[in-house]
Homo-oligomer: A and B are copies of this chain.
Amino acid sequence: MTERVAASSGRSGRRKRPTMLDVAREAGVALRTVSRVVNEDPTVGAHLASRVQAAITALGYAPDERAQQLRRGTSGTVGAAVRNLADAHPVLSAVDHAAREAGLAVLAMSTEDDEHREREAVMSMCRRRVDGIVIEPIGTSHDYLSGELAAGLPLVAVDRPTGGVEADAVLSDNAAGIGMAYRQLALHGHRRIGYIGDDERIFTGRERAAAFRACVAASGGPLDGMTHPGVFSPARISAALTAVLTGPAPATALITGNVETTIEVLRHLGADAGRVALVGFDDFPLADILRPGLTVVAQNSAVIGRTAIDLLVARSADPARPVQTVTVPVELIPRGSGELPPPD
């Protein structure tokens, strides 16, 4: 590594952080009075209040939230265990906003698509006594949470349901989305439509592949060689793409079951991107600056995030309420790639 380093003068040593008691002494009042001022209790005399405020700013005092939470018995925080913080993540964004409106802080942790990490993240949230958890499940079994659930932990799954335990969930309407994609391609003259998507051991992979097969059956199109689920590595996507686009009766249009597949397909298509019609499941930033623009089935992340927090808050208020699964509509966004005609 060849970083350049510039150094400068040091910084004074560590001073002890002021506590509420320090403030009380500085202001010459009782501890309780400082607590009252900090919590904006109106029953403090104006004179004392201002003296306490002065002491607070003089000392640079900020209350220790851990101690507050410990004493209050609530954390005012919801955990969000999502697959990735680094990728585009509109659901997390929506959760963040909705939680803030509900007066809750968000503790976001990434699961990195790893079952073990997911469990680690969720347990860490439990140890921090979050008031609820929004999870984008990776693992297939979440019964390590059954104790917490019995203890009243509000848990809401987004995108996929939890496994092994009953929990509220917010899902996209996968079947309807695949239907929209298929109809759009059929509408533009395609008869041989292919599908490349996720492993069917994954919930969304299963739902979307099943919906695709149903569409083909309903429209009387050919299924043979057109369905390629269980595809996740770039190499296998490349192979599936070759298989579906070559041979005696190649597909003229393609539906991709998730963003990763969509992007990998675009990467392999390269210059040929304009020669095969394509609809991707799930929108992503920049899909509109591709040429041709990418037609997608977009999930409504804003509504998903909002709903997740709503369910969380509702269960907090009433732990005994019935478990709910909310299905959120999806939307087809035509941008060109899905409207390409078949080669004549």
Contacts and interface: CB of A to CB of B under 8 A. Distances in A.
A329 B15 contact: no
Contacts of A2: 329
A288 B267 contact: yes
Given A1-B303, A7-B322, A290-B289, A86 B86 contact: no
A157 to B, nearest CB: 13
Nearest to A265: B289
Interface in A83-108: 85-90, 92-93, 96, 105-108
Contacts of A325: 5-6, 8
A286 interface: yes
A60 B148 CA distance: 8
A319 B16 CA distance: 13
Q: What is the interface residue range for chain A against chain B?
A: 35 or more
Interface in A9-64: 9-17, 60, 62-64
A123 interface: yes
Interface stretch (A124-132, A133-141, A208-216, A238-246): A124-132
A93 to B, nearest CB: 4
Interface stretch (A65-73, A185-193, A195-203, A227-235): A65-73
B322 A8 contact: yes
A7 B152 contact: no
Given A60-B151, A108-B108, A323 B124 contact: no
A184 interface: no
A311 to B, nearest CB: 10
A26 to B, nearest CB: 14
Interface in A161-181: 166, 173
Given A87-B88, A127-B63, A13 B289 contact: no
A62 B127 contact: yes
A64 B125 CA distance: 10
A297 to B, nearest CB: 16
B93 A323 contact: no
A133 to B, nearest CB: 13
Contacts of A87: 88, 285
Given A15-B151, A266-B289, A88 B85 contact: no
A150 interface: yes
A273 interface: yes
A291 B267 CA distance: 10
Nearest to A108: B108
A9 B320 CA distance: 9
A3 interface: yes
B5 A326 contact: yes
A320 B15 CA distance: 12
A343 interface: no
A93 B86 contact: yes
A7 B322 CA distance: 6
Nearest to A105: B124
Given A9-B323, A13-B320, A70 B66 contact: yes
Nearest to A148: B60
A219 interface: no
Contacts of A3: 303, 307, 326-329
Given A3-B326, A87-B88, A108-B108, A12 B320 contact: yes
